[in-house]
Copies of this chain bind each other. A is one copy, B any other.
C-alpha cells in the first residue's frame, strides 16, 4: 500500500501572508503527521497564532505525545496567553504505522469528508477551536489504513467560499463529482476543490484556504518515500 497526501493552499486575496499554517512531520514511532491550524482573523497576527499552535503541536508529537494530548496542550497554552481573545482551529492527520491506522484530531467547525468507494461519510459534529476556554476537547476519529480510502480536510476558507455572493460551496458535491472521474490523484482532488472555491469567490479568495487530501492506494512499488513542494514566488514577495 501507499499513503499519498496532497496539499493545496492559497492566501486570502491581497494578503501576502496566509493565516493558515501547515507542517508535515515524521512521527517518532513511524509514519507522519500533517498539522494544520487557522488563526483567527487574517494576515500577520493570524499567522503568528497558527504558527505558534503548529510549532507546539509538532514539538509535542516529536516527543511521542499523543495527538489528542498535543491538541489540548496547544489549546491550554493559547488560552493562557490570550485569555480566550484569540482562537485557532486545528486539524491533525496522523498516519500511525504502529497501529496501522489514520488518526484524525479535530478542533475545527469545518467538516471532514471520508470516502470509501461510493460511500461518503461526513464528520461534522460540533467542534470547538483551540483557545476558547480552559477545557477544550478535540474530537478523535481512528480509521484503518485501507486501499481506496480518501480523506479531505480543510480550513473554513473552503466551506465558506462563495457565501459572500450567496452561492456557497458544496464541498461534498464537488468531491463526489471529482471522484466520478477515473481515480484522481490526491493532488488533482485538492486542486479541484481549491479551484472551485476560488472561482466561487470570483478569483479573490475571501479567506485563506488550505485543503489536505489523503488517499490510500493498493500500489505495490518501490520502498521510496517521496515528497514534492511547489512554492510560487510573487515579485512583490521577493522584493519586500
Q: Report B-chain residues with C-beta under 8 Å of the C-beta of A228.
A: 4-7, 186-187, 226-228
Give A42 Cβ to nearest chain B Cβ, in Å.
Answer: 15
Bound-state Cα–Cα, A223 to B97, Å: 34
Give A234 Cβ to nearest chain B Cβ, in Å.
Answer: 7
Copies of this chain, count: 2
Tell me if A9 is interfacial: C-beta within 8 Å of chain B. yes
Tell me if A3 is interfacial: C-beta within 8 Å of chain B. yes
Give A80 Cβ to nearest chain B Cβ, in Å.
Answer: 19
Interface pair A227/B24, CB less than 8 Å apart = yes
* Chain A residues bordering chain B, tally (CB within 8 A): 54
**Who on chain B is nearest to A97 by CB?**
B237
Known contacts A23-B25, A30-B237, A55-B62; is-contact A9 B225 (Cβ 8 Å): yes
Of B24, B26, B59, B231, the contact of A31 (CB 8 Å cutoff): B231
Query: Which residues does A use to contact B, with CB under 8 Å?
Result: 1-11, 17, 21-26, 28, 30-32, 51, 55, 59, 62, 95, 97-98, 100, 145, 186-187, 190-191, 194, 221-234, 237-240
